[in-house]
Amino acid sequence: MTDLDHTHDPALRSWVASANAADTDFPIQNLPLGMARAAGSTGAFRPVTAIGDQVLDLIAAAELGALSDALGAVLRTCEGHGLNPLMAIGPGLRRQLRHELVAALQDDAGPKQAALLAPALKPMSEVEMTLPCRIGDYTDFYAGIHHATAVGKLFRPDNPLLPNYKWVPIGYHGRVSSIGVSGQTFRRPLGQTKAPEAEAPGFGPVKRLDYELEVGALVATGNEPGRPVPIDEAEQHLFGLVLLNDWSARDLQAWEYQPLGPFLAKSFATTISPWVITMEALAPFRRAFTRPDGDPRPLPYLDGAANRERGAIGIRLEVHLQTRAMRDAGQAPAKLMASDFADAYWTVAQMLTHHASNGCNLQPGDLFGSGTMSGPAADQGGSLLELTQGGKQAITLPGGEQRTFLQDGDSVALVGRCEAPGRRAIGFGPCVGTVMPAVA
């Protein structure tokens, strides 16, 4: 796992003034990675980092002499293709990029460096983001035990968790083609559903449309077919984390998921945040990975000293909802809940190790979803399914509107922020998606 070094020093400041604001998601201690181009441009997307409210073009920075030739060569291969080449090169060069960026952007670099890099900087409001990499495969896990328990109680009050839950990281293979970046709009899906009292199913727009608050993990270096990844090496194969909204059609899901699990109820849209928060940036927010007393200890292939000591990651997560009426009235989104990613029942290292344990060959850019990250309290549900008790108890928004499930025009924003005593807080930036009416 990544160790702390001088790049995590909370006293570090940048000559980019906005990076020193207390409420910024992107201080110099963060330096997330993404792909951007000038808004309205038809040019190729290029690798970038965020610093305060500015975006630094990394290829331009290399050409201006702020980054080494080795980094410049790799970054140029990312242009128009995504961050996959940088992912594939391994953690060493990624750490080198972080160190060189801190050297170039820290306050001590002074006016000379600011003048040098000025042509490579753009205000964030003037750029367009895209997916950070080519995602070859997407696997959604079920590591949120509070969500699994709450949903299980809706259907199995006396035995909410299935017998395998505490032994094996459960997951299913999702759809890549419908993954979009923050700002994504999507049509309410059509599907076959069956009301409990109906004799036969019907077909039409789904009525129980939901969101799911998740964290996504992106694979860096892969593994050869047939070669598992030991738990102590797993994080060397991880690039970083994003926020992920696994939109779900609950009525469609209830009718189709037996016997093979999620299908069309999950494949119509998935939204991720555009900025990848690297594993290096997350180092100050690691926590011990623990299990409640009486729960089984993970099997040996999923258990390692480093994972026990620092496998969990503290990320405060929130969901905000803005209806069309709220937007038209100029009202801010309403916060629906908050939870902590450190409560996940399985760590990202365990997810990767288990995924590769059968010899499955992971590849740079593969995406894992954590599963819905709910908290232990009833008001900490990471989906409307939980917050409304399966649609039985509507939630009331500040303007008086009520929701059991999402309506057309609703926008959902996921928020993620890492905080720890004595450390500089960092954030994930926006992850917003909006529901549009079904195709007529």
The domain boundary, picked from 79, 109, 130, lies at: 130
The domain boundary, picked from 109, 130, 151, lies at: 130
pLDDT at 1 over 80: no
**Residues 27, 173: Cα–Cα separation, whole Å:** 35
Residues 70 and 183 in one domain: no
pLDDT at 240 over 90: yes
What is the structure's pLDDT at 155? 82
What is the structure's pLDDT at 352? 98
pLDDT at 405 over 90: yes
Strands 171-173 and 395-396: unpaired
6 carries an active-site annotation = no
Residue in 151, 419, 158 with CA at minimum distance from that of residue 287: 419
Q: Phi first, then psi: give them for residue 14, nearest 5 degrees.
A: -115, 155
Query: How many structural domains are present in the chain?
Result: 2
**Residues 124, 49: Cα–Cα separation, whole Å:** 10
pLDDT digits (tens, 9 = 90+) for 88-104: 999 999 999 999 999 99
In the three-class reduction of DSSP (H, G, I as helix; E, B as strand; rest coil), residue 387 is classed as: helix
Residues 359 and 300 in one domain: yes
In the three-class reduction of DSSP (H, G, I as helix; E, B as strand; rest coil), residue 422 is classed as: coil
Confidence of residue 438 (pLDDT cuts 50, 70, 90): very high
Confidence of residue 158 (pLDDT cuts 50, 70, 90): confident
Q: CB-based contacts of 301: which residues, under 8 Å, 6+ apart?
A: 228, 230, 231, 353, 354, 357
Confidence of residue 364 (pLDDT cuts 50, 70, 90): very high
**Residues 110, 148: Cα–Cα separation, whole Å:** 51
For residue 178, give the CATH number of its domain.
3.90.850.10
pLDDT at 87 over 90: yes
Does the predicted model carry a pTM greater than 0.75?
Answer: yes
Residue 422 belongs to some domain of the structure? yes
Q: Which residue has the higher pLDDT, 201 or 2?
A: 201
Residues 215 and 87 in one domain: no
Residue 337 belongs to some domain of the structure? yes
Beta bridge partners of 55: 50, 122
What is the structure's pLDDT at 129? 98
Residues 66 and 194 in one domain: no
The domain boundary, picked from 130, 161, 180, lies at: 130
Confidence of residue 5 (pLDDT cuts 50, 70, 90): very high
pLDDT at 440 over 80: no
**Which conformational region is residue 96 in: left (phi greater than 0), alpha (psi within -120 to 50 degrees), or beta?**
alpha
Residue range 36-50: average pLDDT?
A: 97
What is the structure's pLDDT at 319? 98
Residues 330 and 202 in one domain: yes
What is the structure's pLDDT at 109? 83
Which range (45-49, 151-155, 267-271, 400-404) has the least confidence? 151-155
Residues 116 and 201 in one domain: no
**In the chain, pLDDT over 90 holds for what percent of residues?**
96
Residues 154 and 180 in one domain: yes
Residues 154 and 103 in one domain: no
What is the structure's pLDDT at 2? 80
Residues 405 and 270 in one domain: yes
Residues 235 and 359 in one domain: yes
Angle, vertex CA 11, rays to CA 6 and CA 17, nearest 5: 110
What is the structure's pLDDT at 56? 98
pLDDT digits (tens, 9 = 90+) for 366-379: 999 999 999 999 99
Which range (76-85, 109-118, 360-369) has the least confidence? 109-118
**Which conformational region is residue 61 in: left (phi greater than 0), alpha (psi within -120 to 50 degrees), or beta?**
alpha
Give the containing element (helix H, strand E) for 412.
Answer: strand 411-418
User: Which domain does 66 fall in, by range?
Assistant: 6-130
pLDDT digits (tens, 9 = 90+) for 202-216: 999 999 999 999 999
Residue 17 belongs to some domain of the structure? yes
Mean pLDDT, rounded, of the chain? 97
Residues 55 and 183 in one domain: no
Residue in 214, 210, 419 with CA at minimum distance from that of residue 321: 210
Q: How many CA atoms lie within 13 A of 339 on its CB side?
A: 30
pLDDT at 159 over 90: no
Can you state the angle between helices 91-105 and 69-78, rounded to 10 degrees?
110
Give the containing element (helix H, strand E) for 97.
Answer: helix 91-105
pLDDT digits (tens, 9 = 90+) for 313-345: 999 999 999 999 999 999 999 999 999 999 999
Which range (27-31, 155-159, 303-307) has the least confidence? 155-159
For residue 45, give the CATH number of its domain.
2.30.30.230
Catalytic residue among 147, 237, 354, 355: 147
Beta bridge partners of 335: 320
Residues 145 and 184 in one domain: yes
Residue 1 belongs to some domain of the structure? no
